Structure 1
Amino acid sequence: MTGINWRGVLAIYKFEMHRFARTLWTGLAVPVITTSLYFIVFGSAIGSRMSEVDGVPYGAFIVPGLMMLSLFTESIFNASFGIHMPRFTGTIYEILSAPLSAFETVLGYVGAAMTKSTTVALVILLTANLFVDVRIEHPLPMIAFLLLIAATFCLFGFIVGIWAKGFEQLQVIPLLIVTPMTFLGGAFYSIDMLAEPWRTVTLFNPVVYLINAFRWTFYGTSDVAVGVSFAITLAIFVICLAVVAWIFRTGYRLKS
């Protein structure tokens, strides 16, 4: 692709980041408080009964799951709200008529949403270090997985923002689908602890593979093959990218 309108991309990116900056302290204080509460509740109540999981102290074991839980919800919320607001106010027509391609428009919105969600995830990581000793055995794959998962769920959030007819619908998928799938996907436990047939049933939850791949980058342990996890994550990313391309090609809920 040649001749990318970086000025237009940057304009969208700065606008979205300015909205994030207005609520910066609230946006960062919430994950710090939430993470602290998770460690107080899970660390005290469960950690005292289950000291280690796969050789990893329980408090440290749940850190990747906490980061993923926040990354999923923040990515979806920021991306969906970012594109839904222009639809709600009617300024979406100005964006569509601007000298910006679909790629450049998505790059601006998704790039800003990725920046916000990864910032929150890293804040959670820093907060977790105040409670437990967190080690990262594979830092480069950790960063790669973090960015890939953030991009995937920001694209998914972009789709949700276009699909939703009102602000209430923006919360339906994150709260009623993604969050339960995360809790049931091994965010706070190893799926090897489950008896059959529940362990097999859990393997049909795609979030299991995302969380386990991310946990592997920290401690080198995973309940499923890391290669399979990466392939599934990449497949979800490609599917979301294809859906976004279809939306711009057909104008689905963008021009109506």
Structure 2
Amino acid sequence: MNGYAIRAIYLFELARAWRTLMQSIASPVLSTSLYFVVFGAAIGSRMVEIDGVSYGAYIIPGLIMLTVLNESTSNASFGIYMPKFTGTIYEILSAPVSALEVVIGYVGAAATKSIILGLIILLTARVFVDYSIDHPFWMLAFLILTSLSFSLLGFIIGVVAESFEQLQIVPMMVITPLAFLGGSFYSINMLPPLWQTITLFNPVVYLVSGFRWSFYGVSDVGVGLSLTMILVFMLLCLGVIAWLFKTGYKIKP
């Protein structure tokens, strides 16, 4: 294992985040704060509790997941796409660095940025509403696993994408709608039976539900099922990445 190569890629990607601090950190935090003001304070004060939790506190896990999913995907996809766009990807491929080390460097940096952002939003939420964390270990576990999984997805998107526009298609057209329809702002038990069944085909439901359970001990689906879905998704992404490097698809000319 080439630790120097992993460290170089990892630190370079983190440094890029600090150079674009407003876009990487400040903008997502500000956007999420507006959600807390509108949904938590304005609308939440007029709504009843959900599963014994005030509405303002209930949406905190969903808002964190909404941000983490998008930022993990975007950070990882942009991180690997830029070397392709500038042509420096061939320097990495010709260096004594394995595919595993490249993935660890880029995905690790993207996941780290998303985890930090999620924790910052968690602290910011305290300004607007009171909340508790019943299972802090599992809260961190869900946050880390989700960040890693969607950073792997973002890595795949960055490799396959052929333009900057294509980098935004999946986050904007797929992940964001799934997050909004995945119980971020409500419990799926509030839906009619037919729509509850349809919603269970949305993978984001399991992420939000498991993460919310770590806060308040309530969930729409079983916690074990949520963990299983995250691990299955992670393994699928790893399998696709292994195939991409093995075949050189969209990586080598």
TM-score for the superposition, normalised by structure 2: 0.98
The residue number in structure 2 matching 1:116 is 113
Aligned-pair CA distance for 1:182: 0.3
Equivalences for residues 1-256 of structure 1 within 5 A: 4-256=1-253
Which structure dedicates a bigger proportion of its chain to helix? 2
1:223 match: secondary structure: coil
1:186 match: secondary structure: coil
Cα distance in structure 2, aligned partners of 1:63 and 1:43: 9
Aligned-pair CA distance for 1:40: 1.4
Deviations 1:72-117 (A, max 9, x none): 0000000000000000001110000111111100000001101111
Cα distance in structure 2, aligned partners of 1:175 and 1:25: 20
Question: Which letter does structure 2 place at the counterpart of 1:143?
Answer: L
Question: Which letter does structure 1 place at the counterpart of 2:129?
Answer: V
Aligned-pair CA distance for 1:48: 2.4
Question: Which letter does structure 1 place at the counterpart of 2:118?
Answer: A
Question: Which letter does structure 1 place at the counterpart of 2:188?
Answer: I
CA contact (8 A) 1:31 1:123 kept: no
TM-score for the superposition, normalised by structure 1: 0.96
Aligned-pair CA distance for 1:133: 1.1
Question: Which letter does structure 2 place at the counterpart of 1:61?
Answer: Y
Aligned-pair CA distance for 1:196: 2.2
**Percent identical:** 60
Moved more, 85-94 or 15-24: 15-24
User: Which segments of 5 or more consecutive residues in structure 2 lack a partner in the other structure?
Assistant: none
Question: Which letter does structure 2 place at the counterpart of 1:158?
Answer: F
CA contact (8 A) 2:41 2:128 kept: no
CA contact (8 A) 2:41 2:56 kept: no
Aligned-pair CA distance for 1:149: 0.7
Deviations 1:146-172 (A, max 9, x none): 111110000000000011110000000
Question: Which letter does structure 1 place at the counterpart of 2:251?
Answer: L
C-alpha root-mean-square deviation of aligned residues, in Å?
1.0
Cα distance in structure 2, aligned partners of 1:34 and 1:167: 22
User: Which segments of 5 or more consecutive residues in structure 1 lack a partner in the other structure?
Assistant: none
Cα distance in structure 2, aligned partners of 1:236 and 1:46: 34
Cα distance in structure 1, aligned partners of 2:181 and 2:129: 23
Aligned-pair CA distance for 1:28: 2.3
Cα distance in structure 2, aligned partners of 1:106 and 1:118: 17
After superposing on structure 2, the runs of 4+ consecutive aligned residues of structure 1 that deviate more than 4 Å are none
Q: How many residues align?
A: 253
